[in-house]
Amino acid sequence: MILQVSGVSKRFGGLQALSDVSFNLEEGRIMGLIGPNGAGKTTLFNCINGVYKPEEGRVVFRGQDITGSKTYHVAKMGLARTHQIVRPLNDLTIRENVIVGACFGRENHSLGGAEKIAEEVLEFVRLHERANQLAGSLNVGQKKRLEMARALAARPYLLLLDEVLAGLNASEITQMIGIVRDIRERGTTIIMIEHVMQAVMNVSDDILVLDFGKQIAFGTPEQVANDPKVIEAYLGDPTLAAELSGKKSSA
């Protein structure tokens, strides 16, 4: 078991952002994290990687309790993430951005070693031709791939992807999904927050559904798509409900 989340709750003032979220994630799987806007998906990521300290509950990563640990400690233990709103280090080159990931991540490389990893990872996300450009000069799709490259350069055991498909065009989505699959092939476990429903249902082994901070379903894509509570949660959003049921019929 690579990640065990048990009974995690997080409040912001009067708002209960997460209440009693629990799941176990096995190594080598892709877990999709879905739910309407404001369901607490990104908050859950922040509680897992130490940006927030949950009021209740525990997060155990590879057998170690990391509840409330500093983000950089969690990062060094092999947990990497991308951000929903990309955060490139604008005034550094693309290569330098990725080197930061490799240098300070799990394997703690020297600059020389990190440079090799950067070349490899940049080629993997198809940014190698732009390696010497400043990160600030990229477009959104490229910045998302850069985020991904930085996270991968850390050689994480677990990768948290926050809406890597949002804002991408159809061909970019296909390309990105290919990348996600390849990452899993290499043995990295993935949790991905996603709104592009068809993509996430296709690529995930498990799905966790959050609604108003509560966990309303956890299971295989088929189980989740057939879950009445999930369908109800998405009824407010007819297109998503349609997408869910579309998946159901094709499954």
Partner 1 sequence: MSLKNLKNPGLWLTLVVVFILGVIPIINNKASAREETLTVLLSVILVSSLNILLGYTGYISFGHIVFYGMGGYVGLFLISVYGWSLWTAMVAGGLASGLLAFLLGSAILRLRGSYFALATIGINEAMRAFISNFEPFGGPTGISLNFQVYNQYGGAAQALWTIYYVVLALALGNILLSYVVKTSKFGLGLQAIREDEEAAEVMGVVTPSSKTWAYVLSAILPGMVGVLFFFKNGNIEPGPAFRLHLSIELLVMVMLGGYGTIAGPVLGAFGYQRLRGLLLTSDLFKNIQLTVAGVLLLVIILFIPSGAVGWIRHRFPVTRRYLP
Containing 160, the helix (H) or strand (E) segment is: strand 158-162
Is residue 166 a contact residue for partner 1 (CB under 8 A)? no
Given a contact cutoff of 8 angstroms between Cβ atoms, the answer to whether 98 and 118 are in contact is yes
The one among 3, 18, 39, 80 contacting partner 1 by CB under 8 A: 80
Is residue 34 a contact residue for partner 1 (CB under 8 A)? no
Q: Which range binds partner 1 by CB under 8 A, 6-14, 24-32, 67-75, 190-198?
A: 67-75
Closest by Cα among 8, 100, 102, 4 to 53: 8
The one among 95, 144, 145, 150 contacting partner 1 by CB under 8 A: 150
Q: Are strands 56-61 and 64-65 parallel, antiparallel or unpaired?
A: antiparallel
Angle made by CA atoms 165, 143, 176, in degrees to the nearest 5: 35
Is residue 53 a contact residue for partner 1 (CB under 8 A)? no
Site for partner 1, residues 171 to 230, rule: CB under 8 A = none
Enter the DSSP assignment of 136: G
Is residue 144 a contact residue for partner 1 (CB under 8 A)? no
Site for partner 1, residues 90 to 129, rule: CB under 8 A = 90-92, 96, 99-101, 103-106, 110-112, 114-115
Rg over CA atoms, the chain: 18
Number of amino acids touching partner 1 (CB under 8 A): 31
Is residue 154 a contact residue for partner 1 (CB under 8 A)? yes
Nearer to partner 1, 162 or 194 (CB): 162
Containing 230, the helix (H) or strand (E) segment is: helix 228-235
C-alpha separations of 18 from 62, 64, 112, 226 in Å: 23, 22, 42, 24
Measured CA to CA, the distance from residue 152 to residue 146 in angstroms comes to 10
Is residue 51 a contact residue for partner 1 (CB under 8 A)? yes
Q: Cβ of residue 149: shortest distance to partner 1, in angstroms?
A: 11
Side-chain half-sphere CA neighbours of 78 within 13 A:
17
Q: Which tokens hold the place of 242?
A: 């349609």
Q: Cβ of residue 125: shortest distance to partner 1, in angstroms?
A: 16
Containing 149, the helix (H) or strand (E) segment is: helix 140-153
Is residue 89 a contact residue for partner 1 (CB under 8 A)? yes
Q: Which range binds partner 1 by CB under 8 A, 59-67, 81-89, 178-186, 203-211?
A: 81-89
Q: Which range binds partner 1 by CB under 8 A, 76-84, 171-179, 188-196, 201-209?
A: 76-84
State the residues that interact with partner 1 by CB under 8 A. Answer: 49, 51, 70-72, 75-76, 80-81, 83, 87-92, 96, 99-101, 103-106, 110-112, 114-115, 150, 154
